[in-house]
Structure 1
Amino acid sequence: MLDLSATLDQKRVRAYRLKRTRELLAHFKMDAAVLFDPLNLRYATGCRNMQVWTSHHLARYVFVPAAGPVVLFDYGGALHLSDDLETIDEARPAKSWDYFGSGSRAEEHAGKWAEEIIDLLQTTCGPGATLGIDRADLLPLLALQKRGIRMMDAKAPLEIARSIKSADEVAIIRNSMQVCTEAIAFMRQHAVPGVTENYLMSLMNQYNLEHGGEAQETRLLSSGHHTNPWFTETSSKVIEAGEMLVVDSDLIGPDGVFVDQTRAFVIGDRRPTAEQRRLYAHAHEQLQHNMALLRPGMSFAEFGELSWKMPDIYVPNRYAEMVHGIGFGVEFPVIYYPEDHETWQYAGTFQEGMCVCVESYIGEVGGDEGVKLEQPVLITRDGPVPLSDCPFEEDYL
C-alpha cells in the first residue's frame, strides 16, 4: 500500500469529480439532480456515511445543481460528517418516507420531501427547472409527478462522468489494487487442504479492513465443483487437495475503490491436471488477447468483432460480459459477448482515462471445474496498462 497523503491533493480529487458531475448534468440538459445512490453521492461530494446501509434505506441524498450550491441531506445526527468538505455548501437533516419509519404516514412524509426538494430546485434553478434523479423510489416519485416537476434519469450523466479518471483517481485505484493484491497473497498463505471457503474469504476481509478497505461487495471465493457453473457463493465447503480455487476479490478497498481482480490456483502440493491446465490456458489466452485490443477510439462493436473466439464448448457457460468499467463499483461501459450484442450491446467507444476490467470464464456445461481470470487496466493513448501486478500461474501455461 502506498502512502498517498504526501502526494495526493484530496481537494483536487473532489473538485474534479464535482466538476465532471456538473458538466455532464448540463450536457444532458438537467438543471440539477438528487442523488441517492451512495456511490454517486460520494463521487459528487466526497462524503460517505453508512454506505452499505444507505444502499437499501434511502436515508441520505444530495442536491447537485449544474450551477449553484450543493446541499447534502444526511441521516439525523450525522450532519457533522460534511463540516470540512468544501464540495458541500449546506447540510440538512434528511427526510424519510420508508414504511418501517413512517408507517401509515409514508405518503404524507414523501410529500413533505418533495416540497422541500421543489423549493430548493426552483430557488436555485428557477421555475420550470428539470430535475434528474438517479434512483426512483415510488412514493417520492409520485409526489414529484403530482406537483408537475419534469424529471429525467440521472444515471447516464453520472455513469459517464465517473468513467473518465483523472491522474489522481488512477493513483487512488492503483493504491487500492495493491491492497487487494496483498489481501489475495495473505489469503493464499492459508489456502491449504481442510480449510473452508468462508475461512479464506474472512482472511481477505481482515487484510482489507486492516489496511483501510471498507467492505465486501460479493461472495465469490469458490473451490472444486463450486467453480462450475460460476456464481456459486462462498460457503462452508471444505477445500480439498488438488481442487481449483477461484477468487473474484470484489472488495471495496481504500478510498471506496471497487478492487476487482480474479485469480485461480490449485490447492495443496499437487500439480494441476491436464484438464485444469487446459481451462487455465484458455482463460489466460482470452484475457491477454482481449486486453491487448483496448485502445482509445475503438468502438464497442469493433472490440466484439476482434475479441477472442471462444470455443463452442464454453459458450453456453460464458460470463456475463467481456469488459466492464471500474471505479467505485462496476461502472460504464459494459461490453457483452458477440452472441449477446443483438440483445444487450449499446454503441460507444473506449476513451483515454477509462479504467476497465477484462474478464474471462472458461468452463464446460457439466464440467467438474471452471477457471475465471480478471485483470483491471487503464486505457491510455498507447494502449492498456495493467493496474495490478497480482501474478498469474505462468507455470500452468
Structure 2
Amino acid sequence: MLDLPKTIDETRVRAYRLRRTRELLAHFKMDAAVLFDPLNLRYATGCRNMQVWTSHHLARYVFVPAAGPVVLFDYGGALHLSDDLETIDEARPAKSWDYFGSGNRAEEHASKWAEEIVDLLHKTCGRGATLGIDRADLLPMLALQKRGIKMMDAKAPMEIARSIKSMEEVAIIKNSMQVCTDAIGFMRQHAVPGVTENYLMSLMNQYNLEHGGEVQETRLLTSGHQTNPWFTETSNKVIKAGEMLVFDSDLIGPDGVFVDQTRAFVIGDKAPTTEQRRLYAHAHEQLQHNMALLRPGMTFEEFGEQSWKMHDIYVPNRYAEMIHGIGFGVEYPVIYYPEDHETWQYSGTFQEGMCLCVESYIGPVGGDEGVKLEQPVLITKDGPVPLSNCPFEEDYL
C-alpha cells in the first residue's frame, strides 16, 4: 500500500517542482533557462494557458534562474493567470516573432525579444552567464548568438527534474489515472457491434473533459485489422462483432497528468478465438514479466538483458519502446527493445520515485490483429506499484 496524502497541498507541489527545476539547472551548469515547452513551463510555475496552441506557437515562455526572480512572459491579455501564483515574481507581455503575426518584421521582433532576455539574464545572473533553452527556434537563437550569449540545451535538466515525483505528485497522478479508468469503463458500456471507432473515442474524451481532464494527445483506438501493425489512427470504421478492440488512452487528465493506459478486448458476445487468446496471453505475459523487473538501482542495460524475450514473428512489428516515464506527458526515461539498443539506448538507472508506463504490443507479421497492453507504475524501494486498477481480461488467459 502506498502512503499517499489524502489532500493535496498545491503550494507545496509547486514549491517542489520549482526547487527541482532550480537544482537541476545548477547541476547542469546553467545560470538560468528560458522555457517555451508548455509542459516545462507548467512544471516550473504551475501556470497553464492554451497548452496545445502554445506547443506550436511560441507565444508564451518563462525565465527561470537557478537563483533569483522568476519572470513569466504570457500571451497578450493573459497576465492575470499568474496573479495568485507564488512561483512567479513578475509577469510581462510575451514578444513573438512568428511569421503569421510578424510578417516581414519577424527578424526585428526576434531581435527585440533577445534584447529583453539578455537584459534580464545580465541583471539577474551577471554578464557571462549561461542560458538554457528547451526549444530552439531559429530567429531568436541567431539573435542570442549575435549578442554573444552562451547557450545550453535545457531539456536534460527539465527531464531529470520531472522524472522523480514527490508523494503528492504521485497522489495527483493516481487520482487522474482513476478518471482515465472510469472513462474507459464509460466507453466500454457503449462498445457494441455497429458503432464506430470515432464514437468510442469521443466517449472517453467526453468523460475525461466532464471530470476535469483537458485534451487527447493521440488517436489510437482501433479494431480488427486496424490493430496490426499498430499506430493506425482512429477512423469512422464500423466495429464488428468478434473483432479485437485495442485502445491507448493517451488522455491529458485532471491536473495536466498524462493518463496513459492501454487495454484490449473482443467486441460483442463472441468468445475470443484461439488466436486472440494467444495474442492476449503473450502481451499480458510480456507486460507482467517486464513490470516485475523494475527496482531502484537497476540499470537500463540490465533491464534490457532481462526483459521478456519476444517471439521472432512479433519482432518486426514491435512497439517503439518497452518503458517510458509519465507525468505531464511521455517523459524520461525511455527504454528501447534490445534490438534497438545499439542505435538508440542511452545509459541510466531506475530510481525510487519514478512513474513509468510498461508497454507491450504483440502483432505477428501478416496477422489479422494485434494486442497492446500498458500499465502505469511507481517505482518504490520494494519494487513497482501499479498506479491504475483498470482490469485486464483475465478470462482470456
TM-score when scaled to structure 2? 0.99
For 1:129, give the aligned amino acid.
A
- CA offsets, 1:268-296, max 9 Å, x none? 00000000000000000000000000000
| Unpaired segments ≥5 residues, structure 1 | none
How far 1:365 moved relative to its partner? 1.5
Contact 2:5 2:168 in 1 (8 A): no
For 2:319, give the aligned amino acid.
Y
- CA offsets, 1:10-69, max 9 Å, x none? 000000000000000000000000000000000000000000000000010000000000
Aligned to 1:74: 74
Aligned to 1:227: 227
Aligned to 1:378: 378
- CA offsets, 1:322-378, max 9 Å, x none? 000000000000000000000000000000000000000001121100000000000
- CA offsets, 1:240-264, max 9 Å, x none? 0000000100000000000000000
**Secondary structure, counterpart of 1:314 in structure 2:** helix
For 1:100, give the aligned amino acid.
F
1:114 correspondence with 2:114: yes
Distance in 1 of aligned mates of 2:64 and 2:276: 51
Distance in 2 of aligned mates of 1:369 and 1:52: 32
Distance in 1 of aligned mates of 2:146 and 2:277: 61
Aligned to 1:282: 282
Alignment of 1:1-397 (within 5 A): 7-397=7-397
Distance in 1 of aligned mates of 2:8 and 2:283: 36
| Unpaired segments ≥5 residues, structure 2 | none
How far 1:7 moved relative to its partner? 1.2
Distance in 2 of aligned mates of 1:343 and 1:53: 33
How far 1:6 moved relative to its partner? 7.1
Distance in 1 of aligned mates of 2:201 and 2:59: 30
Q: How many pairs does the alignment contain? A: 394
- CA offsets, 1:285-312, max 9 Å, x none? 0000000000000000000000000010
Q: Does the C-alpha gap of structure 1 residues 392 and 6 become closer, same or farther in structure 2, counting only changes over 3 Å? A: closer
Distance in 2 of aligned mates of 1:347 and 1:101: 42
TM-score when scaled to structure 1? 0.99
Distance in 2 of aligned mates of 1:150 and 1:32: 11
How far 1:5 moved relative to its partner? 11
For 1:171, give the aligned amino acid.
A
| Root-mean-square deviation over aligned CA pairs | 0.9
For 1:105, give the aligned amino acid.
R
Q: What is the percent sequence identity of the aligned residues?
A: 90
Distance in 2 of aligned mates of 1:273 and 1:143: 62
For 2:212, give the aligned amino acid.
G
